[in-house]
Amino acid sequence: MSETGPIVSGKDSRFEPTLYKYVGVDKSWTLDFYLSHGGYEAIKKAISMGQDAVIDEVKKSGLRGRGGAGFPTGLKWSFMPKNTGKQHYIACNADESEPGSFKDRYLMEDDPHQLLEGMMIAGLAIQATKGSIYIRGEYKRAYDRLEAARDEARARGYLGKGLFGSSFEFDVEIHRGAGAYICGEETAMMNSLEGLRANPRMKPPFPAQAGLWGKPTTINNVESLCSSVHIIQRGAAWFAGMGTEKSKGHKLFQVSGPFKRPGVYELPLGTTFRELLFDHAGGPTEPIQAIIPGGSSCPPLPWTDEILDTPMDYESITAKGSLLGTGGVIGIPTRMSMVDAMWNITRFYGHESCGKCTPCREGVSGWMVGLFEKIGTGQGKKGDVELLEDMLNQIEGRSFCALADAACWPVRGSLKHFRSQFVEAVEGGKALERAGSHWG
């Protein structure tokens, strides 16, 4: 294990978890606890650095959005207009609804002040005095802890006007969702915040020009914002010292499915699937046929040595024909037909389609779900696989937002690696076997 050069393994002795360092520690969510280990120092430093230096630092660090799209965070901040005289907003995307993802949840449950500080730093960088956290409605504990933290911060002068003896002003509102995956899409999220049906908005105008209530807005994921705290505190070089050439820093990876220790693991980008799934998650508890590398929208990859030894960074995974996404790895056991797995995921996207555009409403929510029902219940007929592929060609890249694409990618990936299972299911004329028959 090389202890020189960039850190690309959680086992590298130089690597130290930061984002999740205090997760699981009692009372970690209180202000006193946060202050006891240098909380709210980064924002002070940021204030002394000033807006431009902060943006530069984050740019240098190479941090890319952890919400799934992987857009460079510093660059995004630099898109915000300066001194418009208008209210600017920093909106935190805490909707975490992509199946297989649950990393933001514990950041908010056990380290809410870290997120508040991250929002302050972003606020400073984009001249936003108001922050809005859009948290998925089901995250009750996270919401309670966040709100308590926010109130505590307000009460003790860590939120409000003239912060830290400077002219810096910042406050945060928390908005609870109500069960709609699409609200994770940034423009739909803004509609939801404004009390409308959460249909995605047209771009342009981009949020930086006209976002929340028509004002300049930047949307960032929880993890992205939390990372910025440590980037400011320890410097871009420290962050860039981890990960690969184009994928810098560390990330929260999630493991679900039949493994000994499913959970969240904070590791450098570039760590291999094998290290995550065996060394950290303890290996599978039953035969696995495929993994979904980064949340349900990423094409599944076969359970092979080649894949297991692939470093988990944006480029390497893309090269294998999938995506890093949110870093939520789902293992699909051999006992579950890939057709069943895709039926489940397709049903999810069909259920979450907002219904605005034709390819997604009729194609994903209607047609694809219907076709899987047909095949899954043993009523498939010859040609259905080809028809499914043809549907993908008609839907992918043609919808209003990326939800329909997200529904197509995993199916396309499965067809690539597990086509035979589909053909069997169609021509076998039998209903699929239940996956969870072991439940008890």
Partner 1 sequence: MGFFDDKKDWLEGVFARYPERRAALMPLLRRAQQDNGWISPDIQEEIGQLVGTTATEVAGVMSFYSYYQALPTGKYHLQVCATLSCAIGGADELWDELVDELQILRGDVSDDGLFSIQKVECLGSCHTAPVVQINDEPYVECVTKARLHALLAGLRAGKSLEEIGLPGKAGHVVHNRGDEVGA
Partner 2 sequence: MAKVTVNDRTVEVPGGTSAMDAIFHASYDVPLFCAEKHLSPVGACRMCLVKTGSPRKDPAGNWILGDDGRPKVFWMPKLAAACVTAVTDGMVIDTLSDEVKHAQSGMVELTLFNHPLDCPTCDKGGACELQDRSYEYGLVSKFYQPDSEELPMYTRFEMTRRHVDKHHQLSDFIVLDRERCIHCKRCVRYFEEVPGDEVLDFIERGVHTFINTEDDGLPSNFTGNIVDICPVGALLDDTARFRARNWEYDSTETTSMDDASGAAITVDARSGLLERIRGAERREVNEVWISDAARFGHEWVNQNRVAKPMVRKDGKLVEASWEDALSAIKAGLASVDKKNIGVYLGGTATLEEGLAALELTTALGTPHRDFQGRTAYPSAVFNAATFDELLDAQFVLVLGDPSEEAPTLHLRLSEYVRGLKPAAKLGHGTPFADLNIKERMSRDGNKLGLFSSYPAALAKWAGASGVVAPGSEAALIDALLGRGGAPADLGQAVAWTQEKLKASTKTVLLLGAAVLNNPAAAIKAKQLAEKHNLKAMCMTPAANARGLELLGFYPGKNGAGWTETGPRASYYGFLPTEAQLKAADFTVLHLSHNSALAEKYADVILPNQTFYEKRGQTVNLEGRVLGLEPAGINNGEADGAVAALGLMAEAAGVKTPIRLVRQATKLLAERKVPAPMSLWTVKAAGWSATEADGTKGALHLRPTMWRREQLVGAVANVVEYRLEVSPATAKAQGLADGYLVEMETPSGTEKLEVKVVDGLPDGAMYLPALGAWAGRSLEAKVLVGGEA
List of residues contacting ligand FMN (CB under 6 A): 65-69, 71, 73, 76, 93, 95-98, 182, 184-186, 219-221, 224, 401-403, 406
Q: Residue 68: which residues within 8 A CB-CB, separation 6 or more?
A: 98, 221, 294, 295, 297, 325, 326
- The sheet carrying 89-94 orders its strands as 171-176, 130-135, 89-94, 217-221
Among 7, 8, 23, 392, binds partner 1 (CB under 8 A): 23
φ/ψ region of 346 (left if φ > 0, alpha if ψ in -120 to 50, else beta) reads alpha
Given partner 2, ligand FMN, partner 1, none, residue 37, with its beta carbon under 5 to 8 Å by kind, binds none
Structure token pair of residue 272 = 């291999």
Given ligand FMN, partner 2, partner 1, none, residue 184, with its beta carbon under 5 to 8 Å by kind, binds ligand FMN
Q: Which of residues 202-241 bind partner 1 (CB under 8 A)?
A: 213
Among 3, 24, 390, 416, binds partner 1 (CB under 8 A): 24
Residue 146 corresponds to which amino acid?
A: L
DSSP secondary-structure letter at 365? I
3-state secondary structure 291-352: EEECECCCCCEECCHHHHCCECCHHHHHHCCCCCCCCEEEEEECCCCHHHHHHHHHHHHHHH
Cβ nearer to ligand FMN, comparing 31 with 183: 183
Cβ nearer to partner 2, comparing 307 with 407: 407
User: 3-class SS at 95?
Assistant: coil
Helix ranges restricted to H, 50-209 = 51-61, 73-78, 103-110, 112-126, 140-155, 186-193
The stretch near partner 1 (CB under 8 A) out of 58-66, 162-170, 235-243, 338-346 is: 338-346
Q: For residue 44, state whether it binds partner 2 (rule: CB under 8 A).
A: no
Q: Taking the complex as a whole, how short is the minimal distance between the CB of residue 191 and ligand FMN, in angstroms?
A: 13
The stretch near partner 1 (CB under 8 A) out of 53-61, 261-269, 364-372, 419-427 is: 261-269
Q: For residue 197, state whether it binds partner 1 (rule: CB under 8 A).
A: yes
Could you tell me if 208 and 31 are in contact, meaning their C-beta atoms sit under 8 angstroms apart? no
Number of residues in the chain: 440
Given partner 1, partner 2, ligand FMN, none, residue 65, with its beta carbon under 5 to 8 Å by kind, binds ligand FMN
The stretch near partner 1 (CB under 8 A) out of 78-86, 254-262, 364-372, 388-396 is: 254-262
Q: Taking the complex as a whole, how short is the minimal distance between the CB of residue 100 and partner 1, in angstroms?
A: 5
Q: Taking the complex as a whole, how short is the minimal distance between the CB of residue 241 and partner 1, in angstroms?
A: 18
User: 3-class SS at 107?
Assistant: helix
Q: Which of residues 101-140 bind partner 1 (CB under 8 A)?
A: 101-102, 105-106, 136-140
Q: How far is CA 37 from CA 105, 120, 220, 229, in A?
A: 21, 18, 25, 13
| Closest to 128 in 3D by CA, of 208, 206, 233, 40 | 208
Per CB under 8 A, residues contacting partner 2 are 180, 182, 196-197, 202, 204, 350-359, 361-363, 365-367, 369-371, 374, 387, 393-395, 397-400
